[in-house]
Chain A
């Protein structure tokens, strides 16, 4: 569907026959030649008039050229008529539109594509249109309020601003809720009549879809828009603790191509400690992979995240709680263990558990100081009553006690066993025994140890026997003769596990066999896995009434932020059953026994479960990108075609002119002409291509330099996109205004600079750079300038709010050479967090990402970090419009987030102006000490 912006221009096509006639009768322009011998030529003989006319193909070519130019002038646009339908067409009065936007997690993966297309569509809307914006998913802690949406009709500009502030939320779209609310409002007759309703859908069938469609159709004509070819969405369907680490299952909609994504185990500070690749075959809906944490011991993994081709989403994150996190393991070691360190069970256990978590070895005090999740006592009785009571309390509160028998084991006064034990040890295979050392029976299938194949040469020559008739204990493994090897019993919230042989080589070579680490890991994984399996396997009811306070909630992008006030406290039972909603978003809740995770998307009706599937939206939808592309005029393509045609004509002309030459001259000439024509063609194409005027170097303008240094001021890097630059400038102006109000720093108006260099960067203490996601990599010249600036003491503040994959973006932008110093995550110890305010939160318009500073800016002798890198879109939070109102009307974290964004900005400016001045407090103890002396 093509429409024309200036149909009148097509009238020029009528002139084409005249052009044909002219071309037929006008000879081509002569080639001017300097030829002195012409002076003696007799004209008549030479210039005899021949009917010299351009060849027919030339005329056709030129007519084609002319028609292309005429068509280009007519301004054709693709599908522009459908677009008119979308904008509400030409009704009486200003059109009143309703935008319904699916902002649940399934929309997150391609969120920006959808929003960009929508914004483009809105660019064509008449400025007097009134627009209502409704989202289908609520924000954590905030009840959905469609009343607000209908109370305020927005102008297209305001609506665009509102859209820019929207973000995907960590919920499924609650179409059912919205449909119910709409119907309720309609029943009371408080809904305006709408010219058109645009539903920007995520493209999948969720509960309430039909209800919402019906409810919307009652209000006006509905157009459903979506992406024809979305990326993903991917969703972490399940994470299971496995022997090696985690088993990750990821699902996606059917019918997509082959893709590789990565699953990463990340720390609280964002550092990736392990990663694995998941491969989706073409068309496959599900992929699985094993995530093995590897040798990164003593680290606490905070979450599992997917790293996908699209944008980040809540469904890509899986916060790990106490149940799934690695264990902090305390191994009791006494005086006797250090005498023969390599033969002691402490040594073999610590080695085997090296990769399973944080291992603490030592006496009781040391272990309790570390608040372990698992305590291992090997080959020793627990005699002291105090310790016995303490251990019992520990287990009853949810801890795990893993004990090993051994030659020094005595169980006389010790009742912390799964089952009563027989006195003394049974030794087989020794000198005084007829029996041979026992092999281990294959692990029973219902045992958590199942799946581990025991090598034939693993034998047990000594064991402590359980008294027969012990009912409450569960046997997890047996020897070949049926006697128990591993027993377990629930005690309170916790678990007692007893291994009836030794953890050192004295009674069994199990501890030396390669399966020992897997054996231990599987024991810990199964017993400590999470509340559910333990409950199911060991038939124990958890306390449902304990309240869990919300601590961190998952953002729509998979980050964890402090829980907003509206989030309710949960009970342990809620963790298992309660569907997610605005009052109970996914995240981490703190209970008496540590953090518990409310899984993203858990328990959502029709949400992620074993039979979860992305079912496509029935009835289909229009491709929003194609519609938005309709706004792209076709004339540039026509113009390019005309230029190419022109080049072709020149080439053919010169080539045909050359035919007349003879001998070597022909070939030679042809070469010269061909190269010349190619050169002209290249020039024409180069002229036609959009020239990045910003990339060109301009001579230094002294007046601008003087203007720049007349006052200290902030600078931002101009990107060439007017809207973006304007927003960043407004952000820095807002910050400058707040700085003036609160601090002694009276800065001038911020200035825009280019990295290629219209002004020396060194004129500014702080340069704010928010590169668009598609910005090309720095050129060598830009890199050199940046490096000079950073060396000279400037601070470059990079805000990667736009990118999906910050690390890759940054690497691509800056190139591979060492422009950046080593980076560490910013925390409250850094001078940047105390240069004016004391901060432990650094949000911008967004939140949840790590802010990075150079590694050498921490510590006792800090340098000023030359770069500060983050992705929170601070300028968006600071930006104040011409009317004195914030451009981003609301932030997810409310007023507090805005306040902290400004505080961070103030700290940053102070840091840029005063350097490490505040860091001197670090030396305060030393100074006081010296004064005292």
Chain B
């Protein structure tokens, strides 16, 4: 039954239980990645969640001395510096804080596709990737937030369950609204989808990100059947289980395969070029490759 569903028809959406399982699975995967990374370059230690903000604020690192202004509390005076001259100085520290990683996973019906029963659906793999990124971020002491259209908060590791709860909620986020999400400026955003977006909308999105100085990274997942068209005979392709989606009648799948492959490849190249032009790191993955290899690729790029 399951094989039947994944092969020809849309797979069911990933439910809460499956989501939780993937979450725990990703945790093990992330720990594995972290250990590998530590072993590889023990010198380049991950900073433990403190990132200088290049401005004054709460922190340990010295930022600058500034002249004392009258009316300030006397305890702010840095007496050692002030003793070297006859002016009073105040020592200012660089503002240091932990970063927030925002995660966005495309949960549209198109993601519930796996061309062969033994392959995971794109949604499945995307969730694993997102969760792995989350665990890696927590490992480094960062905060992680889940973009799902509801009021957002980023959480630390101690509140991992809240993130899971957000991820498990039925997806309400329309992928097209990603462009319009209001995130604080200069945030990090990891967007995972299948890249089957319309080019115009993606360009809009990138403009928006650029304008808000978002540091985004995009992971696109593709099923092998979306790289090479495998079906033969007279086919009716549907993008949704009901009548709402696109329906495309193909007279001879075998003959049309080359054209389809070419069109798909062109689309993905366009997407890649757009992203490269916007300076957005882009990772292309296939659901056919193992999840550990995919996770390793993702982890290698992560503190971008």
Does chain A have a CB within 8 A of B254? yes
In the complex, A661 Cα to B235 Cα: how many Å?
A: 14
Say yes or no: B263 contacts A34, CB within 8 Å. Answer: no
Q: Is B157 an interface residue (CB 8 A)?
A: no
Q: Is the CB of A660 within 8 A of B233?
A: yes
Contacts of A661 in B (CB 8 A): 230, 232
**Residue from B116, B226, B256 within 8 A of A37 (CB atoms):** B226
Chain A residue numbers with a CB within 8 Å of B236 are 30-33
Contacts of A659 in B (CB 8 A): 232
Q: Which residue of chain B is the closest to A36 with respect to CB atoms?
A: B110
Any A CB within 8 A of the CB of B171: no
Stretch binding the partner chain, chosen from A45-53, A615-623, A868-876: A45-53
Do A35 and B249 touch (CB < 8 A)? no
Q: Is A92 an interface residue (CB 8 A)?
A: no
CA–CA, A672 and B4, complex, Å = 11
Given A33-B235, A52-B251: A41 in contact with B110 (beta carbons within 8 A): no
B50 lies within 8 A of chain A by Cβ: no
Asked, given contacts A34-B113, A38-B239, A40-B267, whether A49 binds B233 with beta carbons under 8 Å apart, the answer is: no
* B34: A residues at CB distance < 8 A: none
Residues of B within 8 A of A660 (CB): 231-233, 253-254
B238 at the interface (CB under 8 A from A): yes
Does B297 touch A at the CB level, under 8 Å?
no
Q: Say yes or no for B13: interface residue by CB 8 A criterion.
A: no
Shortest distance from the beta carbon of A664 to any chain B beta carbon, whole Å: 11
Residues 99-123 of B, flagged 1 when their CB comes within 8 A of A and 0 if not, give: 0000000000111010010000000
Contact with A along B163-182 (1 / 0, CB 8 A): 00000000000000000000
**How far apart are A679's CB and chain B's nearest CB, in angstroms?**
12
Residue from the list B231, B233, B239, B254 in contact with A36, Cβ < 8 A: B239
How distant is A356 from chain B, measured CB to nearest CB, in Å? 77
The answer to whether A41 and B8 touch (CB under 8 A), given A31-B234, A36-B113, is: no
Whether the pair A31, B233 counts as a contact (CB closer than 8 A) is: yes
Whether the Cβ atoms of A32 and B196 lie closer than 8 Å is no
Q: Would you call B260 and A46 a contact (CB within 8 A)? A: yes
Binds A, one of B68-76, B89-97, B208-216, B240-248: B240-248
**When chains A and B are docked, how far (Å) is the Cα of A124 from the Cα of B92?**
115
The residues of B that contact A37 with a CB separation of less than 8 Å are: 110, 196, 225-226, 260, 264
In the docked arrangement, what's the CA distance between A353 and B237, Å?
Answer: 96
Partner of A39, one of B8, B235, B245: B245
Q: Which parts of A92-148 form the interface with B (CB within 8 Å)?
A: none
**B10 adjacent to A47 (CB under 8 Å):** no
Query: How many angstroms between the C-alpha atoms of A33 and B263 in the bound complex?
Result: 19
Contact with A along B213-230 (1 / 0, CB 8 A): 000000000000110001
In the bound complex, residues from chain A placing their C-beta under 8 Å from that of B194 are 36
Q: Chain B nearest CB: distance from A57 CB in Å?
A: 16
A31 touches B235 (CB 8 A): yes
Is the Cβ of A46 less than 8 Å from the Cβ of B196? no
- Residue of A34, A38, A50 touching B8 (CB-CB under 8 A): A34
**In the complex the two chains form, is B234's CB within 8 Å of A52's CB?**
yes
Query: Smallest CB–CB gap between B10 and chain A, Å?
Result: 5
A29 CB contacts on chain B under 8 angstroms:
234
The reply to whether A38 and B248 contact each other, CB–CB distance below 8 Å, is yes
Q: In the complex the two chains form, is B234's CB within 8 Å of A28's CB?
A: yes
B14 on interface, CB distance cutoff 8 Å: no
Judge whether B283 is part of the interface by a CB distance below 8 angstroms: no
B255 at the interface (CB under 8 A from A): yes
| Pairwise interchain contact B225-A47, C-beta atoms closer than 8 A | no
Q: How far is the CB of A315 from chain B (nearest CB, A)?
A: 65
Whether the pair B235, A40 counts as a contact (CB closer than 8 A) is no
Given contacts A47-B249, A657-B232, A660-B233, A34 and B256 within 8 Å (CB-CB): no
**In the complex where A46-B248, A47-B249, A52-B251 touch, is A38 in contact with B232 (Cβ < 8 A)?**
no
The yes or no answer to B37 lying at the interface (CB within 8 A) is no
Say if the beta carbon of A42 comes within 8 Å of chain B.
Answer: yes
In the complex, residue of chain B having the shortest beta-carbon distance to the beta carbon of A672: B3
Residues of B within 8 A of A40 (CB): 196, 198, 263-264, 267
Instruction: Given A36-B110, A40-B264, A50-B251, decide whether A657 and B237 contact each other with a Cβ distance below 8 A.
Output: no
Closest partner residue, chain B, to A51 (CB atom): B251
**B115 nearest CB neighbor, chain A only:** A35
CB-defined contacts of A543 to chain B, threshold 8 Å: none
Docked pose: A769 CA to B235 CA in angstroms? 59
Let me know if B56 is at the binding interface, CB within 8 A: no
In the bound complex, what is the Cα–Cα distance between A42 and B253 (angstroms)? 15
Give chain A interface residues in 628-671, CB to chain B under 8 Å: 657, 659-662, 665
Contact assessment for A45 and B259 in the assembled complex, using a CB-CB cutoff below 8 Å? yes
Are B263's CB and A45's CB within 8 A? yes
Query: Among the listed B3, B225, B233, B252, which residue makes an inter-chain contact with A35, where contact means beta carbons less than 8 Å apart?
Result: B225
CB of A721 within 8 Å of the partner chain:
no
- Tell whether, in the assembled complex, residue A50 and residue B110 are in contact, meaning their CB atoms are under 8 Å apart: no
Chain A, residue nearest B4 (CB): A676
CA–CA, A35 and B113, complex, Å: 7
Q: How far is the CB of B280 from chain A (nearest CB, A)?
A: 20
| B250 adjacent to chain A (CB < 8 Å) | yes
> Any chain A CB within 8 A of the CB of B9?
yes
A29 and B235 CA atoms in complex are apart in Å by: 8
Mask for B15-28, Cβ within 8 A of A = 1, else 0?
00000000000000
Tell me the bound Cα distance from A334 to B287 in angstroms.
110
In the assembly, what is the distance between CA of A40 and CA of B269, in Å? 13
Residue in B230, B238, B254, B256 whose beta carbon sits within 8 Å of that of A32 in the complex: B238
Distance from B260 Cβ to chain A, minimum over Cβ atoms (Å): 6
- Nearest-CB distance from A814 to chain B (Å)? 42
Contact partners of A36 in chain B: CB under 8 A: 109-111, 113, 194, 196, 226, 239
Cβ–Cβ contact B234 & A33, under 8 A: no
Q: Check B263–A42 contact: CB distance below 8 A.
A: yes
A264 to chain B, nearest CB (A): 60
Per-position contact with B for A796-822: 1 when CB-CB < 8 Å, else 0? 000000000000000000000000000
Are A49 and B239 touching (Cβ within 8 A)? Answer: no
Please indicate which of the listed interface residues A29, A30, A32, A35 has the most CB atoms of chain B within 10 Å of its own CB. A35
A46 with B239, Cβ < 8 A, contacts A30-B249, A38-B248, A660-B254 known: no
A47–B8 touching, CB < 8 Å: no
Interface membership of A929, Cβ < 8 A:
no
Residues of A contacting B252 in the complex (Cβ-Cβ under 8 angstroms):
50, 52
Q: Confirm or deny: A384 has a beta carbon within 8 angstroms of a beta carbon on chain B.
A: no
A365 within 8 A of B: no
Q: Which residue of B lies closest to A45 (CB)?
A: B259
Q: How far is the CA of A906 from the CA of B256 in the complex (A)?
A: 85
- Residue A27 is within 8 A (CB to CB) of chain B in the complex: yes
**A43 contacts the other chain (CB 8 A):** yes
- CA A665 to CA B260, docked complex, whole Å: 20
Task: Judge whether A50 and B255 touch: CB under 8 Å.
Answer: yes
**Chain A residues numbered 376-396 whose CB sits less than 8 Å from any CB in chain B:** none
Cα A32 to Cα B249 in complex, Å, equals 9
A661 to chain B, nearest CB (A): 7
Q: Which among B109, B234, B246, B259 is the interface contact of A38 at CB below 8 angstroms?
A: B246
B79 → chain A closest CB, angstroms? 67
What chain A residues lie within 8 Å of B263 (beta carbons)? 40-42, 45-46
- How many Å lie between the Cα of A616 and that of B198 in the bound state? 93
Taking a contact as CB atoms closer than 8 A, the residue among B111, B234, B259 that contacts A30 in the complex is: B234
Show 27 residue pairs from A and B whose CB-CB distance is below 8 angstroms, ordered by the A residue.
A30-B234, A30-B235, A30-B236, A31-B231, A32-B235, A33-B236, A35-B248, A36-B110, A37-B225, A37-B264, A38-B237, A39-B239, A40-B196, A40-B198, A40-B264, A41-B248, A41-B264, A45-B263, A47-B248, A47-B249, A47-B250, A47-B256, A660-B231, A660-B253, A661-B230, A661-B232, A665-B116
Identify the B interface with A (CB < 8 A). Answer: 3, 8-10, 109-111, 113, 116, 194, 196, 198, 225-226, 230-239, 241, 245-256, 259-260, 263-264, 267
Which 3 pairs across A and B sit closest by C-beta, in order of nearness?
A660-B232, A36-B110, A38-B237
Name 17 extra pairs, CB < 8 A, besides A29-B234, A34-B241, A46-B256. A32-B235, A32-B236, A32-B238, A34-B238, A35-B239, A36-B194, A37-B196, A39-B196, A39-B246, A41-B248, A42-B263, A43-B248, A45-B263, A48-B259, A657-B233, A659-B232, A665-B230
